Amino acid sequence: SGAARRASSPPRRRLPEDAARHRPANCSALEISGCARPGAGGDAKPGGKSPAELSSPTGGAADAPEWPLVPASPSCGPASPPVSPGATTAWWERKLSGVASAAVRVPIRTAGEKRGGVARATLRVAETALFPWSAETPHLYTLFLTLRDADGNVIEVIRQKVGLRTVEVSGGRLRINGVVVTLRGVNRHEHEPTTGHVVSVADMRRDVALIKRLNMNTVRCSHYPNDEAWYSLCDEEGLYVIDEANVESHGMGFDPSSTLAADPAFADATLARVSNMAERDKNHPSVIIWSLGNEAGNGPGFHRAYAHLKRRDPTRPVQYENARLEPGWSTEHMETIDADTDLFVPMYPSPAKLERYAAAHELDSSARPLIMCEYSHAMGNSCGGLAEYWRVIRAHGVLQGGCIWDFADQGLCMPLARAGTLAEVGGHTAGRRLFGYGGDFGPPGTPSDEAFCINGLVQPDRQLNPHAVEARSAMQPIWAVAGPSGVSATEVDLVISNEHDFLSLAPFALLWEVQEQGAPVRGGVITELPHCAAHSSVRLTFEHTPADLPLRPVERHLFVRFARKADRAEVAWAQFGLPPWPRPPSLLGAAAGCSATYRGSTSVQVVDVEGAAELIVPSAEMTVAFSRATGLPTSLKYQGQERLAAPLEPSLWRPLNDNELGSGRHNALHKWRGAGRPSQEGGGYMRMLRGPTATACTDGRVVVRSKAALTADGETVLFTTCTVHPAASAVEVRARVVLSGGGAGTDAEAPAQDGGDDGADRGDILRDGAVVVLRSDEAAAYLDVEGSRVRARWDDSGAWQQLLVRAALERPPDDSPIRYGDAVFLIAHTGVMLSAAHAGAPLSAAPDGGALTADTPAATATQRFVLEPAAGGELAGQLVRCGAPILLKGCNPAGGSRPEFIVPGAEHADGDASLSEAKSTWRFHRGRAANYFHAAPLRVGIECALERSCATRVRWFGRGPHESYPDRHDGAPVGQWDGRVADQTFRYCRPQETGNKMETRWMALSDDAGESGTLVLSLSAPLSMQCHHHALADLDTLPETRTNRVRHGAELEQQDLTTLCVDGAMAGVGGIDSWGNLPLPQHLLSLDQPVEWAFALRPFVGLDDPAALVADLVAEA
């Protein structure tokens, strides 16, 4: 790449001051750059740094060796040939790092006002001097272009770094230098939090280093060519670049009837932007793929631009996501690929869609490789399921990676208006930055996409978001798994897979350590790994524990890390459980030994006063009070000091993340917000069905049992058994939640079900309570509700297009089928109820704070629409099927039919759609949230608050150190971690769910010194736990809205308490997209699956080692 510079190239920027711009004393020995012999395994880089240093954030080790230069020699190139005086000729001399040169005589021509010539030359590099460029081995040569006049005088010298590499699509695979590669990529906008789209070279260099540190090798320049300096940095440090033309017309839609791609008036502009990009950037080896643009539809304009690139630069493949025959794209269904792309580059496909493509094309040598142009939308607490994507990619050769959306949150620094007094304690506000997003700028009502540009792996200031660490883990280039001999108590047999495309394992070392209870006890380093070339595997066996060493009966792990020798930076890790396996912890066996209530010999006297709000269990050191309203502890005093700042309560709700708001979870799951929370502001629900009753046992224990309904319909029931252990100074909580079919009885009679389905498939029938999207045949777009604006504008459906269909508002939705001739209400995800008050007037909103819930407020007749068959009256009275063509007729205030129908129409000044006497055909399609009001909660657990004075420091044994979730925990190893509670709340730009710790065995919360606190010990499988100096409501939206209580993460004020959550089940955070898709099914809770979990609370004083207390408690059992 770059071996021949065309006359049509734009002028290069000025050379640095130290660049050679004069004629040297010996014209045949120009100043040149050097190259060196490759090191062992062919992994060394000639000149400059070794490849192992390139992704170091600091630029490599300080003691990196200096590679020798090949000295200049008079024999580097031929001398200038003699010329006749006055001849109109020019000389281009090209010297490539002392290993290739050519001299070309160029006739000067005149054509009209133009005068000049075109020089062409071929430089051939001997194989012994050839070091191909790749992202892993970014070998660069220095190319000199020297222009002389007819007398041999140097007129100009241009110096340019070039790389030698090939890129092609052959045999159904993308290949660099003939090698099949995997693109571990990210989309990147040019953005800085203080300077906006003005990005300095230093900031670019920082981004390159950070991207490589995250184990990525590819950047898509979304959605425009970047500053020229960016490409030079990618050349030097080693990043593949997908260079994208500045062509996008998303708002015009993708249908052939409306897209600009089919409009001849825009064809020249499209070609000009594509051509200019290619001419400017063609000499950069990092640019391996041209992209025609982004979301601009498909048509003749792009076919022409594609053909131009293939003629102008046949050395690179061309991609275009919109190169398909269908107007829109689908998460699950396969599109029909058009001819104007060499790669299949879908956006936001599911892992299942990737599997289907691989099944159809894995063995097809003519197939287009699949490389996702965008996937895993990193908006807020996101990137769930990323590990599933990469498990599928690794399994199929035709799947060659993709680019996460996107690199950095696009927020702008704003002044932090205020900070709470508690937030300032200990300097916690130091360095805190508030990042503004949509809605923070301009006067009230300024249009924006709210936080939709806050969707990066890193924050605007490049602080890593937690999901960046998951991405780094999912894309690590070295993997270790247990070999045929497995992992024993003393030895390990590893199969190490080297997924680098060009590097062997020579630049890497293996570091290992054995952990007991998450703490390291021994370790070692293997500096010379067995030879393992790229795309190969090798077995490695070593002893990690002496055979004669006595083993304690505790949980043990082997932790393996791979690090670069040059700077010791970690690039990959793996963790293995070690035998013997410990017994599960237990403080309570069976309930044997318990006599009837208050009978038998016991030192504990239960205080049970009729009519009192609490049942009290005192003992020598600990007193526990139980609420009669919940059956759970409300007070826990140890040595006279209260540890609880708020009582234990069931929790079936968590603060919503951006993905959940985008899929309408704030409405769909609203019933769980107050479930089991009688103390919740605005009113929650909990009704005791049995108990609480206390049973004193002969061994001194007291058992408190209860049963309660957590929802008004009686379907969700909580069973609890709490045991006070005076001897262990601990209280044990065992809980079981039946989410559906609890049999508690309902507070209101359930509505009768319609039995007249006519034998139709349920999934095909429009029903009361269904969530649908409404698509216009005429506009080829979906009805969209944004605020009070109702428009048919987008041809891709998501949460903004979801509508709730209601047959009646005086009762909850009953799933009864809808028939032609029925009148329905259409309620948007925002709570807007569509209205047709006047003929020819725009649709309007009259929600008055209403929400898309089963309890939607009463509506007027003008908000009713009659469904009529588009095909005619012969279907009247029959069931309405999703996908069938229909007409939506408005109703007048008297309840009769009006002649106006909903039409997409031209937008009014305020952007609303209209009614018209003209008939327009629409089709209902099923929304992505089936059984909208029958979905399981996102969390099932117990929440309380601890006194802050005894809960500012947290130590835990589980996954960490950052947050983890069921669909995003592969990047969080199991270990013993220690930190401040204040640091466990990650301040996303927009506050939301945060801080969960998966697979937690125990968590100790204490004062800063670790002297006084409370131990939380899992007594079942490892649990999800989290702690904050905030109420969870501060991280959440207001009920049934998208509006945050606290708008910015930097504005969160710490409170004088520590919220503690101990959860039996937790849903994933999702990540396919942020506008409709839910987490993968395996990462969702099920209404049919009861949740059981158990834990113990053990206050302590003067505790140095929580693990020792855990061992003592288990030993007592």
Cis peptide before 223 (omega within 30 of 0): yes
In the block, which residue shows the tokens 């300097």? 427
Helices (H) and strands (E) in the chain, counts: 11, 53
- CA atoms of 435 and 416, how far apart (whole Å): 9
Question: In sequence order, what are the beta bridge partners of 525?
Answer: 511
Residues 401 and 319 sit within 8 Å (Cβ to Cβ):
no
CA distance 643 to 448: 45
Q: Are 529 and 503 in contact (CB under 8 A)?
A: no
User: 856-874: buried (b, 16+ CB within 10 Å) or exposed (e) per residue?
Assistant: beebeebbbbbbbbeeeee
| Residue 420: count of CB within 10 angstroms of its CB | 14
Query: Which of 1093, 89, 977, 1044 lies closest to 519 in space, CA to CA?
Result: 977
Q: Count how many Cα atoms sit within 13 Å of the Cα of residue 437 in the half-sphere of its side chain.
A: 26
Find how far residue 958's CA is from the centre of its chain. Answer: 22
Cα atoms found within 13 Å of the Cα of residue 546, Cβ hemisphere only: 5
Query: For residue 190, how far is the Cα from the chain centroid?
Result: 20
* Rounded Cα gap, residues 447 and 463, in angstroms: 28
Residues classed as catalytic: 295, 374
Instruction: Give the Cβ contact number of residue 365 at 10 Å.
Output: 9
Cβ-in-10-Å burial (0-12, 13-18, 19+) of 1095 comes to buried
Size of the chain in residues? 1117
3 state DSSP class of 105: strand
The angle subtended at Cα 967 by Cα 962 and Cα 970, nearest 5°, is 55
Residue in the structure block whose two tokens are 């990525």: 216
Alpha helices in 788-828 (DSSP H): none
SS3 948: helix
Residue type, 893: P
- Judged by DSSP in three states, 757 sits in coil
Give the distance, in angstroms, between the CA of residue 809 and the centroid of all CA atoms in the same chain.
Answer: 38
Strands 287-291 and 240-244: parallel
Supply the DSSP symbol for 904.
Answer: -
289: closest CA among 195, 183, 434?
A: 183
Alpha helices in 460-502 (DSSP H): 466-474
Do 687 and 613 contact (CB within 8 A), yes or no?
Answer: no
- Pairwise CA distance, residues 132 & 140, whole Å: 8
Task: Give, in degrees to the nearest 5, the angle at Cα 946 between 943 and 950.
Answer: 150
Residue at token pair 């003008």: 862
Pairing between β-strand 412-414 and β-strand 1002-1006 as defined by DSSP bridges: unpaired
Do 888 and 901 meet the contact criterion of CB atoms below 8 Å apart? yes
Q: Which of 62, 145, 132 is nearest to 102 (CA)?
A: 145
The structure tokens 């209404």 sit at 1087
Task: Give the whole-angstrom CA distance, residue 290 versus residue 220.
Answer: 10
Q: What are phi and psi of 127, to 5 degrees?
A: -60, -35
